[in-house]
């Protein structure tokens, strides 16, 4: 097996035990980039010599017996909305061309502290919104990889890197992970600090992670999680034991609530058929549960919050360079300027009541089972419909997508699991159990 196909935890273990070096792993990943990125186009900034210098320094550190972190020598890709002190950060916009931050985002700093090699910056949609970048789906270059975190899951899927970070304010991580056929994990709101990343909406912005297994996203999330006094939504709690939780066996077989949600009419026939088969395979472990039409208002609430916050946070860019923004982004900002304060306040407040309304589900079931996207990755470059992600982003609940289903054309269909807000470890354990039970593209 080529070294570039190693999983994140496996690669870290191989380096830690001295069976391979970081330089060997990084070289294999760089060679893979040279081989396939002409078609995929996942990267916006990647400097081969700089990456190798990082790997050499980490190998030297290990040879001298210095402490090593859980990701020592392993390359990680960074969505180009996170500040990096050694690479430009351009936010997918010509307005920020050539911007070179002085400091790393907190997420990037934590990756470096864990020993990761910062491989480079991956393509993002403009301002992490809808207008797509250049990246293509690794499974079919005529199809979108989804967005706005386009390059990160595409790079992981194409074996250019074993792990990556991205973000989600609507469906920007779960949807592209599903389209690209990798595991994408959006933790509970406030679990991973967003300091030094593009601010779109404080109530909605999440840092997300990508890898090729549940165990690997658990490792990334454990490294990144924790308090940061500059992110007021984080809390000073003990570090979550995500790796141990994901590897543990549930005391009883998990039970799943199959929730079609009020948005089921957006599900394409291929998704409806695949989930019917999945429910059949799971048998007594799953039951269909109605969550009520009140959750349908989440789309309206989410839009209100996101549009007002983006209009506020991108105000200066709009005033100084609206002609260099996509029409869709300009229209969002202009809509966001016209809301009433009482509507925005009500939309922000609505999430607490809806979260409380889910207690009856999580009191009985380990996780909600629902699609990650309406169907397989669409043809063309439009980033796709986030409708099956919006509710869970708005509520701030943890969500993970697993590449367990496939269309007749062999394209990935993601299975999204959602957990109770703050109960990320249990969700990871449940997701690992389901992935083990079904295997890749199982039940489809």
pLDDT given at position 440: 67
Give me the helices (H) in 314-423, please: 315-321, 327-336, 341-357, 359-362, 387-395
Q: Which of 79, 121, 186, 260 is catalytic?
A: 79
Q: Which of 22, 93, 148, 152 is catalytic?
A: 148
Question: Hey, which bits of 59-116 come out as E strands?
Answer: 75-79
Is the overall model pTM greater than 0.75, yes or no?
A: yes
Q: Which of 172, 188, 261, 407 is catalytic?
A: 172
Distance of CA 305 to the CA centre of its chain: 20
pLDDT given at position 439: 79
pLDDT given at position 262: 92
Q: Where are the domains of the chain?
A: 3-246
pLDDT given at position 443: 38
Label the pairing between strands 256-258 and 367-371: parallel
- How far apart, in whole angstroms, are the C-alpha atoms of residue 219 and residue 164? 12
Find all residues with CB under 8 Å of 184, minimum gap 6, and list them. 153, 166, 173, 174, 176, 177, 178, 208, 209, 210, 217, 372, 400, 401, 414
Tell me the CATH class for 3-246: alpha beta
Label the pairing between strands 43-45 and 117-122: antiparallel
pLDDT given at position 67: 87
Cα-flanking dihedrals φ and ψ of residue 413, to 5°?
-125, 120
Q: Is there a cis peptide before residue 148, judged by omega within 30 degrees of 0?
A: yes
- How far apart, in whole angstroms, are the C-alpha atoms of residue 400 and residue 173? 9
Give 10-residue mean pLDDT values along the chain (444 residues): 94 97 98 98 98 98 94 98 98 97 98 98 98 98 98 98 98 98 98 98 98 98 98 93 97 97 95 97 97 93 98 98 98 98 97 96 98 98 96 98 96 98 98 92 44
Considering Cα of 91, then 93, then 94, then 95, what sign does the dihedral take? negative
- Quote the tokens at residue 400: 């993970």
- How far apart, in whole angstroms, are the C-alpha atoms of residue 31 and residue 219? 25
Catalytic status, residue 79: yes
């Amino acid at each position: 097996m080529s070294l570039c196909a190693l999983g994140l935890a496996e690669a870290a273990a191989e380096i830690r035990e001295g069976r391979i070096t970081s330089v060997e792993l990084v070289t294999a990943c760089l060679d893979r980039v040279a081989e396939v990125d002409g078609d995929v186009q996942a990267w916006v900034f990647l400097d081969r010599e700089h990456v190798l210098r990082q790997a050499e320094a980490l190998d030297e550190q290990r040879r001298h017996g210095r402490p090593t972190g859980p990701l020592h020598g392993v390359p990680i890709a960074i969505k180009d909305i996170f500040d990096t002190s050694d690479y430009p950060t351009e936010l997918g916009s010509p307005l920020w061309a050539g911007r070179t931050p002085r400091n790393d985002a907190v997420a990037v700093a934590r990756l470096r502290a864990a020993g990761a090699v910062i491989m480079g910056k991956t393509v993002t949609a403009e301002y992490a919104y809808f207008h797509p970048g250049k990246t293509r789906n690794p499974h079919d270059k005529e199809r979108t990889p989804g967005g706005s975190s386009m390059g990160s899951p595409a790079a992981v899927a194409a074996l250019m890197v074993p792990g990556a970070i991205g973000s989600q304010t609507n469906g920007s991580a779960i949807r592209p992970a599903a389209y690209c056929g990798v595991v994408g994990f959006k933790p509970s709101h406030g679990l991973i600090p967003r300091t030094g990343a593009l601010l779109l909406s404080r109530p909605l912005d999440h840092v997300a992670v990508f890898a090729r297994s549940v165990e690997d996203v658990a490792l990334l999330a454990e490294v990144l999680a924790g308090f940061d006094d500059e992110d007021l939504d984080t809390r000073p709690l003990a570090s979550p034991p995500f790796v141990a939780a994901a590897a543990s066996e549930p005391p009883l077989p998990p039970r799943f609530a199959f929730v079609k949600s009020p948005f089921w009419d957006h599900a394409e026939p291929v998704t409806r058929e695949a989930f019917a088969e999945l429910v059949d395979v799971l048998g007594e472990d799953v039951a269909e549960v109605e969550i009520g039409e009140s959750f349908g208002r989440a789309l309206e609430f989410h839009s209100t919050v996101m549009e007002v916050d983006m209009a506020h946070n991108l105000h200066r860019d709009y005033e100084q360079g609206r002609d260099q923004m996509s029409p869709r982004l300009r229209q969002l900002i202009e809509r966001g300027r016209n809301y009433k304060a009482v509507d925005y306040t009500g939309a922000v407040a609505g999430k607490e009541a809806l979260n409380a309304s889910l207690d009856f589900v999580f009191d009985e079931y380990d996780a909600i089972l629902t699609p990650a996207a309406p169907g397989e990755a669409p043809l063309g470059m439009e980033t796709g419909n986030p409708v099956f992600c919006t509710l869970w982003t708005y509520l701030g609940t943890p969500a993970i997508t697993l590449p367990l289903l496939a269309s007749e054309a062999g394209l990935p269909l993601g299975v999204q699991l959602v957990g109770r807000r703050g109960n990320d470890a249990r969700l990871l354990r449940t997701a690992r159990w389901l992935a083990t039970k079904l295997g890749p593209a199982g039940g489809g």
